[in-house]
Structure 1
Amino acid sequence: MSKEANFEIQLETERLIVRSLKKEDYQNWLMEFESRNPSQHRHDEGKKDMSECTKEWFVKLIEKHQELAVNDIAYIFGVFRKSDNKHIGMIDISTLERMDFQWGRIGYTIHNQHWRLGYGKEAVKAALRIAHKDLGFHRIEAHINIDNAASIKLAESAGMKYECKREGFIFEFGEWTDNLIYFINFNDMPLFSNGN
């Protein structure tokens, strides 16, 4: 990927727009974080202290996102609802290895006040299309805690397949924690073939 001064990708689905954050998103972004319900389970952050997230802080965050993208380290997208432009979540795609692998990882968060409406599946499928068509990845993985049933269900609904359990894979919750690996290889999936 060439290094551009301003990285921008946007993809629209039936109900959503998945795109890079912009400075004018600040109030919308902040309001939706502040409108979260209390945590629903240990993998849901729920309400967060947003006091440090000033407009200046947000501008620096966007600049960091741009830097990560132009250096092919990570691509971070906001998820917006078309009907009212509400910021309903975030998706990130990280580069694990290029060269002969073209291998990345996806992470996703939908604010819990917008759960159970199918937005997660719609957003992740859009992000997978971006990963393949715009970013040139061949393989994308999701690394999921073994007790995170909602994330497992979302990965499967978006077309990802279970591969394995990686033991002691990530340091979380004060210990080395196992993760389940879900993946998609785009050349195996008709949805992502070159004709689409």
Structure 2
Amino acid sequence: MGLIDYLSRPNVPVLSGEGIVLRLPRRSDFPAWRALREDSRGFLTPWEPVWTSDELTHAAFRRRVARYDQEAREGNGYSFFLFDQAGETLLGGISVGHVRRGVAQSATLGYWMGERFAGKGHMRRAVEAVKLFAFEVEGLHRIEAACLPNNQRSIRLLERCGFSREGHLRGYLKIAGKWEDHCLYALLAEEWSRSGALEMAPTRDSPSRHPVDRVSVS
């Protein structure tokens, strides 16, 4: 990790599960992120908003990381990069976004996977780690997720991870240049049963919203 990354990083724990590690993106991740996104362009673009002309540039990535860091510092959202167990190979990304406090205590789940790593169970394990973070560390009550009705891979993932289908959202998000209907799924804290132990280690930083530096599902 570079000095700028270290000094500017929000105090958010690293998440780990069976064979995977989740952490906040760093500027130094740009080459791996760009290569994976470019290699997976045809796989990803049918399910995402239209990519901008500068989507894969270094400048755009720096703005993206700065936005992720600001959201994490403010407690509004947490965007993680998904790595292999060694923390060396970037596999994809997952986020707990649009965090709403007060009487809602809810957030929205989002994720993407590099094409060559899809279908191997990595994202399911990432979702399990993020569920533990959202419910036990952040104290949220509800996680929502929306997916296109024809995205069977995403629907199977959510259902395997315990999410229940709640409804049909008309013209919910603009995907690939077109306003698309989405299926709404959700999981409540009282419906969730963690599959492994929560391991907490003291953080080197001062007390904050996240008094841990690692959260593990085993």
Q: What's the CA shift string for 1:65-124, capped at 9, x where partnerless?
A: 111122232211100011461111011111353111201110010111111111111111
Q: Which amino acid aligns with 1:81?
A: D
Q: Structure 2: 5+ residue runs without aligned partners?
A: 1-7, 200-218
CA change 1:57–1:41 in 2 (3 A) is: closer
- Look up the match of 1:191: 194
Identity of aligned residues (%): 21
- Look up the match of 1:105: 108
- Give the C-alpha shift of residue 21 in structure 1: 1.0
Following the alignment from structure 1 to structure 2, what is the Cα–Cα distance between the partners of residues 41 and 29?
15
- Look up the match of 2:61: 58
Aligned counterparts, 1:74-113, within 5 A: 74-83=77-86, 85-113=88-116
Q: Structure 1: 5+ residue runs without aligned partners?
A: none
- Look up the match of 1:34: 38
The answer on whether the counterparts of 2:147 and 2:182 sit within 8 Å (CA) in structure 1 is yes
Normalised TM-score (structure 2): 0.74
CA change 1:165–1:75 in 2 (3 A) is: same
Following the alignment from structure 2 to structure 1, what is the Cα–Cα distance between the partners of residues 20 and 13?
14
The answer on whether the counterparts of 1:34 and 1:50 sit within 8 Å (CA) in structure 2 is no
Partner SS state of residue 112, structure 2:
strand
Bigger RCO (CA 8 Å, 6+ sep): 2
Task: Give the alignment's Cα RMSD to 1 decimal.
Answer: 3.1
Following the alignment from structure 1 to structure 2, what is the Cα–Cα distance between the partners of residues 40 and 10?
26
The answer on whether the counterparts of 2:45 and 2:176 sit within 8 Å (CA) in structure 1 is no
CA change 1:26–1:118 in 2 (3 A) is: same
Structure 1 segments of 4 or more deviating over 6 A? Answer: 47-51, 192-196
Normalised TM-score (structure 1): 0.82
Which of 13, 30, 38 matches 2:17?
13
